[in-house]
Amino acid sequence: MAEGKPLEQFQDEIAQCVRCGACQAHCPVYLETGREGSVARGKIVLAAAVLAGEAGLDERLHEEIGLCLLCGSCVAKCPNKVPTDAIVAALRRRIVEEQGLSPLGKGVAALTGSKPLLASLVKGADLLAPVLFKKIPATSGLRLRFAPTALKGRSLPPLPERTLFARVPEFLEGDPARPTVGIFAGCALTYLYPQVGEILVRLPHRLGCSVYLPRTQGCCGMPALSSGNGPLVHTLAAANNKAFADRDLDCILTACASCRGMLAGYAAETGRPLPAQLVDIHVFLHQQGMAAQLAALPKWPQRLTVTYHDPCHLRTAGITREPRELLRALPQADFVEMEDAGLCCGLGGTFTAAHPELSRAIGDRKLAGLTASGATVIASACPGCILQLQDIIDRAGLPVRAVHTLELLQQALTESEP
């Protein structure tokens, strides 16, 4: 149980699936492949067959269970709320328990299970950039292209010289009358986008909050969950709980939709919640009156046209209004809604490494709505989505930047100061 709910304990939920097919219209993998095994009800049939002893953990089952982004879109639209994402995760754990980790799973375990190794890899990649990476056109907004075959041609942001932990102190003292908040940064905001992580730390402090960024926190565990590594998920959860346990916190903030989805979902399943309520930064800032503060700033004479992409793990949690209201209040931007803003970008953690072409094909479905919107900036609330969106934008040759919503908020506040 500590390593994740076993497949046998999902028997009642599996029986709740009535094979209605509502999931077909919302599964990003099925929309691209049209394969019954790709959609939720097909995976539920496979899970039931495994439990009944009618199917083994063979190559076909591996393939079908691997074709899932764990985005939760099927769960959100299922009339009976069958937790297909959790059932798929349990099946992946069963495969690993009986057959061991795949090569990709071993790589995930080595990196996410070791903060020093992950930090060293990022630093080393930066030093070896002239050899390992190719420059892309300056107009793309990114300067590097990843070389390995699995990610050939993928755009990456410039690798930062300093991680988030090197940019900000562990604790920022605020007004004693204001909340004390913890910050769960996650891997992407710590190592790949530390400038966004720094905004995540400094914006609550700007509002008078005391802010705690424990150095001992690590990966949220989403890549380990995706690869079926139940023991590592448990180890990471225990370490993260311990990291935040020595402070009396009003809440713990995150600016990564995937981290929020993982921490909230795993805590609900295993009964190992973080020591304080986990809150998305957009919800927190909205509660603190940030939209009104932004709306009171003088409008810029020349403004950006900005649209928004809903990360799956915020959309399925019902967090869609707050990011948009913050964007609409920006003095330097005109917000436009784009068609299919809630379509999955196709990244899916380790999914993009295991199925790069399918991942990109799913992501390309975003292009029609983005182009029609006329936006020059697409904001999102998940660094993984930002990485994927910029990649599909660059490949399509569109003059659009993908940014985190926090970057636009920070720009409005700092450049409007006297």
DSSP per-residue codes, 87-142: HHHHHHHHHHHHH---HHHHHHHHHHT-HHHHHHHHHHHHHTHHHH-B---GGGS-
Q: How far is CA 30 from CA 25, 34, 36, 61, 69, in A?
A: 8, 5, 7, 16, 11
CATH number for the domain running over 7-99: 1.10.1060.10
Label residue 411 exposed, middle or buried (CB < 10 Å: 0-12, 13-18, 19+). middle
Spatial separation of the C-alpha atoms in residues 240 and 189, rounded to whole Å:
16
Q: Residue 327 CA to chain centroid, in angstroms?
A: 20
Mean predicted confidence (pLDDT) in 16-25: 94
Buried b (16+ CB within 10 A) or exposed e, 45-68: bbbbebbeeeeebeeebeebbbbb
Give ∠ CA 282-286-287 in degrees, rounded to 5: 120
> Residue 155: what pLDDT?
72
Spatial separation of the C-alpha atoms in residues 75 and 389, rounded to whole Å:
24
| Amino acid letter, 43 | K
Residue of 3, 29, 23, 62 whose CA lies nearest to 362: 29
DSSP 8-state secondary structure symbol assigned to residue 234: H
Backbone angles phi, psi at 402, to 5 degrees: -100, 125
Residue of 297, 288, 253, 256 whose CA lies nearest to 411: 297
Backbone angles phi, psi at 183, to 5 degrees: -120, 120
**Which pLDDT band holds residue 127 (cuts at 50, 70, 90)?**
very low
Q: Tell whether the model's pLDDT for residue 223 goes beyond 80.
A: yes
| Amino acid letter, 300 | W
Average pLDDT, whole number, for the chain? 87
Strand order across the beta sheet in which 333-335 lies = 333-335, 304-309, 377-380, 401-404
Q: Tell whether the model's pLDDT for residue 143 goes beyond 70.
A: no
Q: Tell whether the model's pLDDT for residue 140 goes beyond 90.
A: no
Give ∠ CA 266-268-271 in degrees, rounded to 5: 90
Does the 291-415 domain belong in CATH 1.10.3470.10?
Answer: no
Label residue 397 exposed, middle or buried (CB < 10 Å: 0-12, 13-18, 19+). exposed
> Residue 390: what pLDDT?
94
Mean predicted confidence (pLDDT) in 309-338: 97
Mean predicted confidence (pLDDT) in 323-334: 98
Q: Where are the domains of the chain?
A: 7-99, 291-415
Residue of 167, 154, 218 whose CA lies nearest to 188: 218
Label residue 167 exposed, middle or buried (CB < 10 Å: 0-12, 13-18, 19+). middle
Sign for the CA dihedral angle at 344, 379, 191, 258 comes to negative
pLDDT tens digits, residue range 93-108? 999 999 888 777 777 6
* Percent of the chain whose pLDDT exceeds 90: 67
pLDDT tens digits, residue range 39-98? 999 999 999 999 999 988 888 888 899 999 999 999 999 999 999 999 999 999 999 999
Mean predicted confidence (pLDDT) in 318-334: 97
Task: List the structure tokens of 296.
Answer: 């009171």
Lowest mean pLDDT among 87-96, 132-141, 143-152, 285-294: 132-141
Q: Tell whether the model's pLDDT for residue 142 goes beyond 80.
A: no
pLDDT tens digits, residue range 183-221? 999 999 998 899 999 999 999 999 999 999 999 999 998
Contact at 8 Å (CB) between 234 and 4? yes
Spatial separation of the C-alpha atoms in residues 339 and 309, rounded to whole Å:
10
> Residue 348: what pLDDT?
85
pTM of the model: 0.89
Give ∠ CA 385-254-206 in degrees, rounded to 5: 115
